[in-house]
Amino acid sequence: MEGKKEIRGEKGQEGRDRSSEKRRKEREKERNERAEQEREKRKRNKRRKRAHSCKLPRGRAVLPQGG
């Protein structure tokens, strides 16, 4: 009787490990996706800022604010 319990316990543990590994992979995947989105967002923001700063010195609308 005890032997059977032991084996079952090991199997249960194995199953638990596998399910936790699955969850871990899921979390990792989500984290990677989120990080990717953050990088894209930063890239877009940089591009927007760069474009904006290029336009600033040329416009006449800048002059009244300055003086």
Per-residue confidence (pLDDT) for residue 30, from 0 to 100: 97
* 3-56: pLDDT as tens digits: 555 555 566 677 778 889 999 999 999 999 999 999 999 988 887 776 555 555
Instruction: Quote the CA–CA distance of 7 and 5 in Å, as a whole number.
Output: 5
Give the dihedral sign, CA 32/37/43/49. Answer: negative
| Look-up of token digits 């490990």 | 17
> How far is CA 21 from its chain centroid?
19
Instruction: Quote the CA–CA distance of 41 and 43 in Å, as a whole number.
Output: 5
Per-residue confidence (pLDDT) for residue 36, from 0 to 100: 96
Assess if residue 65 is contained within a domain. Answer: no
Per-residue confidence (pLDDT) for residue 16, from 0 to 100: 77
Residue range of the domain that includes 26: 2-57
State the Rg of the chain over Cα.
Answer: 28
Per-residue confidence (pLDDT) for residue 18, from 0 to 100: 84
Give me the number of domains the chain comprises. 1
Model confidence at 2, pLDDT cuts 50, 70, 90, reads low
Assess if residue 67 is contained within a domain. Answer: no
Assess if residue 66 is contained within a domain. Answer: no
